Amino acid sequence: MEITTRSPGSQVRTTRPPTEPPPGSRRSRNAVERYLHSRWTDARRSWRLYWQLYLLVIVPLAYFVIFKYIPISNAVIAFKDYNVIKGIWGSDWVGFKNFELFFSNPVFGTLLKNTFILAFYLVLASFPIPIILAIALNEIRGGLFKRTVQMLTYAPYFISTVVAVSMTILILSPRLGIVNDAIGLFGIPAIDFLGDPDYFRHIYVWSDVWQTTGYSAVIYMAALAGIDPALHEAAKIDGASRWQRIRNVDLPGIMPTAVIILILGVGNMMAIGFEKAFLLQNDLNLAQSEIIATYVYKTGLVNADFSMATAVGLFNSVVNLCLLLFVNFAAKRITGKGLWG
């Protein structure tokens, strides 16, 4: 309130000669105050003119506070011994006890290893294939064939995880599945793919590649379409073959996009699909299929150990965030481009 009464006066005062600044005037205030003052005026003006916009935002904002930010504050129970009766804030603090318990648990090493290997494998396998598909589609011109390939490779993206996993199980089934029929032709005895922990990662990763390649390729197609045709023309005049043009024009052209996709991939690494791992999991392949996300679910909701599950989940989130920041930093250093700026 004080600020608003002062502002008309200060305008008058600025016309005075600078040699005698009156005490308490705007001029004598420091830069921070001046900045805050101008922001405050902006805010008030914006509010007066666009109050309807602020009204519009209230409900979505409440959603983000309630379902995204309150859970973050609820995560303090990772440092507590959560007790339903005492509630979140009333429960006793235990410091890092839950984390220490988790780190000293023999399962910790396996979980970390399983999660990391699976995530890395997934990122590595699903990174180059969409690029290859996009470049191949970009090479052939127009026509029905191109549209068909694009349309059909995209389609599996719309199949649900439950259905994709069911298909995988049916196709790989030891007795009836077509894969075992096929390898049976070569005299190889039937393999129980889902019962063997060693196959779990391959199944997980390649079924994922099957589902997402067409979708990811779309983004690269857009990047390829954005390359200046003059570059291609110039290369052609210089006698570059198609392969050379791909290497020297297309690939550098989609590099920035590829870097961003890779960063996002690594950034989401630790958040990899609970949905799919949980569905593909069975007692036989647990040795490699138990990842942090499925462990959190079992600890928290099956065994009802809220504090421990939250601690494990928090550990996962923090590792994920660090990973993202690190990769973004590295990408900025190497290519000069990151997610932010």
Partner 1 sequence: MSALTTSPLSRLRRKPAAKERVREPFRDRVFLITVTGMLVVILALVLLPLIYIVANSFSSASAVSAGRVTFWPVDFSLRAYEVALSNPQILRGYYNSLIYAVFGTLISVTLTVAIAYPLSRKRFFGRNVLMTALIFTMLFSGGLIPTYMVVQDLGMLNTRWALLIPNAIGVWQVIIARTFFANIPEDLHEAAMLDGASELRYLRSVVLPLSKPLLAVLALMYVIFQWNTYFDALVYLKDQDLFPLQIVLRNVLILNQRNVGVADVAQQLQQQQLANVLKYALIVVSSLPVLIIYPFVARHFTKGVMVGAVKG
Decide if residue 257 touches partner 1 (CB under 8 A). Answer: yes
Q: Restricting to residues 69-98, which ones interact with partner 1 according to CB under 8 A? A: 69-75, 77, 88
Binding partner 1 by CB under 8 A: which of 124, 242, 252, 335? 242
Cα separations in angstroms, 279 against 107, 164, 187, 274, 285: 20, 10, 31, 8, 12
Residue 57 CA from chain centroid, whole number: 25
Site for partner 1 in 278-297 (CB under 8 A): 279, 296-297
- Nearer CB in complex with partner 1: 118/296: 296
Per CB under 8 A, does 146 bind partner 1? yes
Q: What's the min distance (Å) between Cβ of 13 and partner 1?
A: 27
Nearest approach, Cβ of residue 191 and partner 1 (Å): 15
CA distances from 60 to 53, 68, 140 (A): 12, 11, 45
Q: Which residues pair with 196 in a beta bridge?
A: none
DSSP-based three-state secondary structure for 241? coil
Q: Select the span of 29-37, 118-126, 144-152, 247-255 touching partner 1 (CB under 8 A).
A: 144-152
Q: What are the residues whose beta carbons fall under 8 Å from the beta carbon of 295, sequence distance 6 or more?
A: 107, 111, 312
Alpha-carbon distance of 93 to 78, in angstroms, equals 9
Question: Nearest distance from residue 293's CB to partner 1, in Å?
Answer: 8
Among 7, 105, 110, 161, interactor with partner 1 by CB under 8 A: 161
Q: For residues 12 and 25, what is the distance between their CA atoms, to the nearest angstrom?
A: 11
Size of the site for partner 1 (CB under 8 A): 95
Q: In the stretch 1-30, what mask flags binding to partner 1 with x, by CB under 8 A?
A: ------------------------------
Cα–Cα distance between 206 and 122 in angstroms, integer?
8
What is the Cα–Cα distance from 133 to 136, expressed in whole angstroms?
5
* 331 is a site residue for partner 1 (CB under 8 A): no
Rounded Cα gap, residues 104 and 130, in angstroms = 40
Interaction mask 168-187, partner 1, x per CB under 8 A: -xxx---xx-x--x------
Closer CB to partner 1, 28 or 183, in the complex: 183
Q: State the nearest-atom distance from the C-beta of 174 to partner 1, in Å.
A: 11
Distance CA 247, CA 249 (A): 6
Closest to partner 1 by CB, 114 or 213: 213
Using CB under 8 A, which residues numbered 95 to 134 contact partner 1?
Answer: 132-133
Q: Is there binding between residue 218 and partner 1 (CB under 8 A)?
A: yes
Q: Under the criterion CB under 8 A, does residue 59 sit at the interface with partner 1?
A: yes
31 vs 302, which CB is nearer to partner 1? 302
Exposed e or buried b per residue across 285-320, where buried means at least 16 C-beta atoms within 10 angstroms of its C-beta:
beebbbbbbbbbbebbeeeebbbbbbbbbbbbeebb
Chosen residue from 3, 101, 125, 167 binding partner 1 by CB under 8 A: 167
Tokens of 149: 């390939």
Shortest separation between residue 130's beta carbon and partner 1, angstroms: 11
Task: Indicate the residue among 25 and 219 with the shorter CB distance to partner 1.
Answer: 219
